[in-house]
A and B are shown apart, each in its own frame.
Chain A
Amino acid sequence: MRGSLACTFAVIGLFSRAIPVGAHHSFAAEYDKNKPVTIKGVVTSMKWSNPHAWLYVDVKDADGTTAHWSFELGGVNGLYRQGWRKEDLQPGTALTVEGFLSRTDPHVGNSQNIMLPDGRRLFSGSPTPR
């Protein structure tokens, strides 16, 4: 799995904003284009569910408190076709997530890119904002 994951990272990294893979609802309706967000945190779990997968990340604020973030990813089948597996982002993995905030929830976002500490970048399957 690790070997195939490395290959997947390499491939997806090349085309990290190439194709949206899940769009059963309006992205612009649910997320705010005026609220881009970048967080650094640690994976607590990944929910491999339909119609979207969800990534849960704990983020420590400057005062030491922990905020529990939820990031929507693309649809499971689309992520699978791009090489993702539900075991890929294990709890405890440090990462940076770039995305856009929900219009309704302060700790919910749509993930656009996920960067690992070694610089590898994952495309998370959402429609590409412009």
Chain B
Amino acid sequence: MRTHTARSLLPLAAVLAALVPTTTTVAAAQTSTAAAATPPIRRMADGKPDLQGYFNPQAPGANFGLEVHAAEFGIPPGKGFIVDPPDGKLPMQEWAKAEKQSRVRPERGYDDPAAHCFPNGLPRSMYTGGFQILQPAGYVVFLFQGDTGPSYRIIALDGRSHAPERVHLWQGDSAGHWEGDTLVVETTNFNGKTWLNQAGEIVSYREKVVERFTPVDANTINYQATITDPIVYTRPWSIAYSLTRSQDELLEVACREDNDDLEHLKKIKEAQGR
């Protein structure tokens, strides 16, 4: 029955998904009307917001560049998601600008860990596909489908400290707490291997991410992430967008099953002698 229901919804889901990029303006104009009809924030038994469910990030194009960018060959446009600095530009150090330019060359496509199906790290995990949020007692858990295979974040809310500095992880080490109705999550202990997107935007092992999840109604969470990384950037910077509830559900992505692309990209890299 579950499968039948899911299939019966697919044509409608396809229409709605396809319409998303073109209805943004209309949706914004109708916000006040929609807000009145949207159920309020869901709450757990202890009164904290209930964030559980499947959510889609409203960040089209972020995986192809966090700054405003026009469409190019194979690159969807992006409206830009950087809210600080005010100019919407990543405050990169000079060496990082050069490295970013290098990463978009065809022979560097092999170097993006996502092409190898490795975990996306942060904040890339938060804009490369939908995810399921669970709230077992004392934790918030994110289950990602992504494009690189299943991954997860398990965020303890008990005030624990981060892992020792010598520990370096693809998804980092997260610790969370509530500030009113906002879930605040600080993540450190990254391995510095991840890329922020296919535009080659950069983070290092010194990256620290502070995320704020603020539910505004039952179906919408305002998401903001502030990234500090003194090796790559001249100052902290922030992105923001909304997460919207979906009736969708996680599907299996066994990314290493048949990753023919990697062999193709390796040939291109080797042909350039790198």
Partners in one complex: yes
The segment from A38-46, A88-96, A113-121, A122-130 that touches chain B is: A122-130
Complex contact B147–A104 (CB within 8 A): no
> In chain B, what residue has the closest Cβ to A126?
B74
* Candidates A15, A26, A54; contact of B260 at CB < 8 Å: A54
- Rounded to whole Å, the gap between the CB of A18 and the closest CB of chain B is 4
- B136 near A: Cβ within 8 Å? no
Q: A7-B11, A25-B261, A30-B264 are in contact. Are A75 and B73 (CB under 8 A)?
A: no
Nearest 5 A/B pairs, CB to CB: A29-B109, A27-B74, A15-B18, A24-B147, A49-B258
Q: A4-B7, A81-B17 are in contact. Are A24 and B74 (CB under 8 A)?
A: no
Most chain A CB within a 10 A radius of its CB, from B72, B149, B260: B260
A31: B residues at CB distance < 8 A: 74
Instruction: Place the interface of chain A in its size category.
Output: 35 or more
> In chain B, what residue has the closest Cβ to A130?
B71
The segment from B87-95, B175-183, B248-256 that touches chain A is: B248-256
- Rounded to whole Å, the gap between the CB of B150 and the closest CB of chain A is 11
Complex contact B11–A26 (CB within 8 A): no
* Candidates B7, B14, B63, B253; contact of A51 at CB < 8 Å: B253
B126: A residues at CB distance < 8 A: none
- B202 near A: Cβ within 8 Å? no
Q: Measuring CB to CB, which residues of chain A are less than 8 angstroms from any residue of chain B?
A: 4, 7-8, 11-12, 14-15, 18-20, 22-31, 33, 47, 49-52, 54, 72, 75-77, 80-83, 102-105, 108, 126-130
Complex contact B264–A52 (CB within 8 A): no
Complex contact B264–A102 (CB within 8 A): yes
> In chain A, what residue has the closest Cβ to B263?
A104
> In chain B, what residue has the closest Cβ to A51?
B255
Complex contact B14–A12 (CB within 8 A): yes
Complex contact A19–B17 (CB within 8 A): yes
Interface 0/1 of B27-45, CB less than 8 Å to A: 0000000000000000000
- B83 near A: Cβ within 8 Å? no
Complex contact A82–B265 (CB within 8 A): no
Complex contact B117–A24 (CB within 8 A): yes
A52: B residues at CB distance < 8 A: 258, 260-261
A24: B residues at CB distance < 8 A: 114-115, 117, 146-148, 255, 261
> In chain B, what residue has the closest Cβ to A31?
B74
> In chain A, what residue has the closest Cβ to B109?
A29
- Rounded to whole Å, the gap between the CB of A108 and the closest CB of chain B is 7
- B271 near A: Cβ within 8 Å? yes
* Candidates B71, B73, B147, B257; contact of A33 at CB < 8 Å: B73
Q: A51-B261, A104-B264 are in contact. Are A19 and B21 (CB under 8 A)?
A: yes
**Bound: A54/B259 CA distance, A:** 11
10 A-B pairs with C-beta separation under 8 A: A25-B262, A30-B109, A33-B73, A51-B148, A51-B259, A80-B10, A81-B248, A105-B264, A127-B76, A130-B71
Complex contact B251–A50 (CB within 8 A): no
Complex contact A50–B109 (CB within 8 A): no
**Bound: A22/B261 CA distance, A:** 12
Complex contact B254–A28 (CB within 8 A): no
- Rounded to whole Å, the gap between the CB of B82 and the closest CB of chain A is 20
Give me 10 other A-B pairs in contact (C-beta within 8 A), A50-B254, A127-B76 excluded. A15-B15, A27-B74, A29-B110, A50-B253, A50-B258, A52-B261, A77-B253, A80-B10, A126-B74, A127-B75
